[in-house]
Chain A
């Protein structure tokens, strides 16, 4: 039918729960796999291990999301996905520790033993990365709403972190217009992210 589905559809989880939509899986994987992978990478896992862990988490989720049995009182889907990811991460680290002990790699054991208990930090970091992931998806979705110049002004200043002074000649825009462009897109991204979050069960 020629329909291109936007990268995120907020009622995704409902369709997953109903359990027969391949499109829903596609969207789900596209949205959450970079988050889980990135979270593992940021915790020091290697590329291949992070990819494995991502697969592992999504496979577990695929079995459980159909029942949607996470406790909605305790922070909803975001917290539930965090629990699954954290547990896989812990058991991965535990395996690594046993391997290090078995191979007599005392330095690695030491390092793994000394990893501080950062459970609270971990959840806060998860929330931050989760928000960033939704923002990336939101940006992909709303891109079409802005003209090229507005978008470039936003991208160079907000994403690349350049100053308006640095880019105004390249863009042929005044400093004031650059700030307006950046603010407009930011406001829209934030609105879209809130939209996505409010639709999660």
Chain B
């Protein structure tokens, strides 16, 4: 089956058309028949399909690249996903500039920085007291968790010393259910104090409770038993935890072994905060009544908190909840929680009794020590079936227990207190140790590529109308263009570029007039004022810079509340509306460099901002899945526009201000009525994220752009697509109309800006 004769073999262009589905039916049949017998053409068509490089090796046996279904991979994937979703918090100004400024620059670019001999890999979490980092100990070559105390909490030297003293006591506890504290140190001997702790992979009990609500009885008993054992070890060192709560109970993976953390630190933090504000902050939900009342504490406060955590594991809810901290405190001191059996009838009576006892208002009514609690829980657990030796904690005798033991030994007449006998020994002998039943949670693997077939192959887009060419393609920019803006006469375009520069283009001349080095990082926002004299730019450095459009000299610059994600000039004067990466929304007078309006802002980054044509209302679009309308003068919130299924990235007002249009992650473009906040229309047609929307100031036309690289033009009266303009070769981030509505400019990742004549579209 040689390539029979050159004459009868189709050319590569014919094969290309065949692949693209563009060959007429009759011809297609002829070529396919030829392919049946011509091995030469069989090879050529593959080459035409994927170019010079063979793609055989890329796709061959690609199904085997998937980890097998019993691999540890699936569990690990689930864990890392949960962990990241949980701990990932938006960058705030604090974390960027204050909280991490104690780090030395990293030697290795893969790390955030260095703290003494620790390479810091990432921020694990943040709490009221400071920040937890993942570090790599370069001396001992192991991963550790490093807790760095918020420097603002430790302003005075006395507080720092007290903190270090407390922490050293904690470091003396060594127990399998307590997170090991390796070291207490201060950077360069005198700087910020930090704790070096064992790195635990897993999740917090809080995360598990949030996800699952009430837990299976077996898990409640095991977790409770291990918590009690860990507490016993601390109580032996005369250390009270003071802040037992689900967030301080880590469940190590695999296996779910309990590790208690933040021992005694609550006290150190309280001392410090008290000296600063005179008021204790934080969640009191698991606090003992005597603690809530500010009385002297002993170990029995931890017993109450243990009871509160057990209660939540049993019922899915904390025993005392309220809308304010004060309401919770009153409940803790004055009222009884809902009986457990009313909420969960599956909880055995013995456990209910123990929890009720732990939650006694008077310390003397609670069980005497945590060791006896561990023992009772172990007893209940062994009744449910065989226990793994790995689950059985070592429980040291607590102090009263030892005293009692001594008393008992010295004077056999004193009735034996079985409750507090040598708990550890009883536990070990009392348990039936059996093989460990491993329950493997197998991740469901959706069989790849097994979906229902749909309509036949569609290859690219075939525009039905003649292709409209842009009147100008401005390329040669260094990297993605994040933002574009016309001057009022549309003769000049400002583009914010990824490399920190702003380029001013002469549009008719299609040449760069000026390049301004504006910011150290990507220029997210560039906007030109009403009379075309000023250009304002914004970036992650949190600084607004104002330039003279003609001379490109800097007029002034000022720092705002955080990193800037979006910005636009008011249609009236020289105010700029600024949306931040941390969610702030504020208005500054660019003439004076003064803040004039503050709002409550958003819960996530503000990607799009817009002014109503009359300048009285502002609109913001945020990653928190909402858009909001605000009074431009007072900053009061007027409406929240909810309905997008994901982040909202673009927003624009209609020329009369009666509507706003939004677009975002969910691929939808929505039209809202500004008077009521109701959705007037939802436009579909994007096949991926929408990053920017624009409204023509003069014609009933809208534009939306995004990841599908097409410029979607809408008829806003008919609420239907007019056309989709192809040409860009990367995701589009910005679209803007000229003031007269004649031109639309679009720009994005491909580094070009394209100017479209709207008269051609109409």
Contacts and interface: CB of A to CB of B under 8 A. Distances in A.
A198 B55 contact: no
Contacts of A98: 141
A83 B109 CA distance: 9
Interface string A75-99: 0000010011001000100110010
A59 interface: yes
Contacts of B31: 176
Given A37-B67, A47-B73, A60-B121, A1 B645 contact: yes
A152 B498 CA distance: 43
Contact of B77 (A29, A83, A135): A29
Given A22-B85, A63-B134, A186 B691 contact: no
Contacts of B691: 11
Given A147-B453, A176-B34, A63 B666 contact: no
A199 B707 contact: yes
Given A3-B666, A11-B691, A132-B65, A63 B121 contact: yes
B21 to A, nearest CB: 7
Contact of B457 (A71, A132, A184): A184
Given A20-B624, A87-B108, A186-B59, A63 B123 contact: yes
B420 interface: no
B647 interface: yes
Given A51-B72, A187-B19, A20 B604 contact: yes
A50 B72 CA distance: 8
Interface stretch (A103-111, A113-121, A155-163): A155-163
Given A23-B646, A144-B451, A187-B50, A180 B19 contact: yes
A21 B456 contact: no
Nearest to B450: A143
B493 to A, nearest CB: 22
Given A1-B645, A11-B707, A64-B122, A183 B73 contact: no
A71 B707 CA distance: 24
Given A9-B688, A133-B65, A186-B49, A48 B72 contact: yes
B71 A176 contact: no
A179 to B, nearest CB: 5
Given A72-B479, A158-B60, A174 B32 contact: yes
- Which of B36, B88, B90, B607 has the most CB atoms of chain A within a 10 A radius of its CB? B88
Given A10-B707, A59-B134, A187-B49, A18 B623 contact: yes
Nearest to A41: B67
User: What is the interface of chain B mostly: helix, strand, loop, or mixed?
Assistant: loop
Contacts of A84: 110
A151 B453 contact: yes
A25 B87 CA distance: 11
B647 to A, nearest CB: 6
A21 B623 contact: yes
Given A11-B691, A159-B59, A145 B46 contact: no
Given A147-B457, A190-B49, A29 B84 contact: yes
B458 A145 contact: yes
Nearest to B603: A20
Interface string A19-47: 11111011001100110011001000001
A133 B603 CA distance: 34
A166 interface: no
Interface residues of B, number: 98
A55 B457 contact: no
Nearest to A69: B109
- Which of B55, B57, B141 has the most CB atoms of chain A within a 10 A radius of its CB? B55
Interface string B82-98: 01110111110000000
A17 to B, nearest CB: 9
Contacts of B85: 22, 25-26
Contact of A54 (B18, B46, B60, B76): B76
B749 A199 contact: yes
A175 B36 contact: yes
A190 B45 CA distance: 14
- Which of B79, B124, B453, B498 has the most CB atoms of chain A within a 10 A radius of its CB? B453
Given A136-B62, A146-B453, A176 B33 contact: yes
A6 to B, nearest CB: 7
Contact of B32 (A19, A21, A52, A177): A177
A176 to B, nearest CB: 3
Contacts of B32: 174, 176-177, 180
A21 B18 contact: no
B58 A146 contact: no
B46 A183 contact: yes
Given A9-B688, A37-B73, A159-B59, A29 B454 contact: no
Nearest to B460: A191
Contacts of B15: 183
A3 B57 CA distance: 34
Given A23-B665, A151-B449, A199-B749, A186 B36 contact: no
Given A47-B71, A54-B80, A25 B45 contact: no
B72 A47 contact: yes
A47 to B, nearest CB: 5
Contact of B112 (A6, A64, A149): A64
A149 B456 CA distance: 10
B66 interface: yes
Contacts of A139: 59, 62, 448-449
Contacts of B647: 15, 18, 20-21
B687 to A, nearest CB: 9
A3 B667 contact: yes
Given A139-B449, A180-B35, A51 B731 contact: no
16 contacts: A26-B81, A54-B80, A60-B122, A95-B141, A146-B453, A148-B453, A159-B62, A164-B42, A174-B36, A175-B35, A179-B35, A179-B42, A186-B59, A187-B19, A187-B50, A198-B730
Interface of B: 15, 18-21, 31-37, 42, 45-46, 48-51, 55-63, 65-67, 71-73, 75-77, 79-81, 83-85, 87-91, 108-110, 112, 121-124, 134, 136, 141, 143, 201, 448-449, 451, 453-459, 479-480, 498, 565, 581, 603-605, 607, 623-624, 644-647, 665-667, 688-689, 691, 707, 729-731, 749-750
Given A136-B448, A139-B62, A190-B49, 4 more contacts: A69-B109, A135-B58, A151-B453, A199-B730
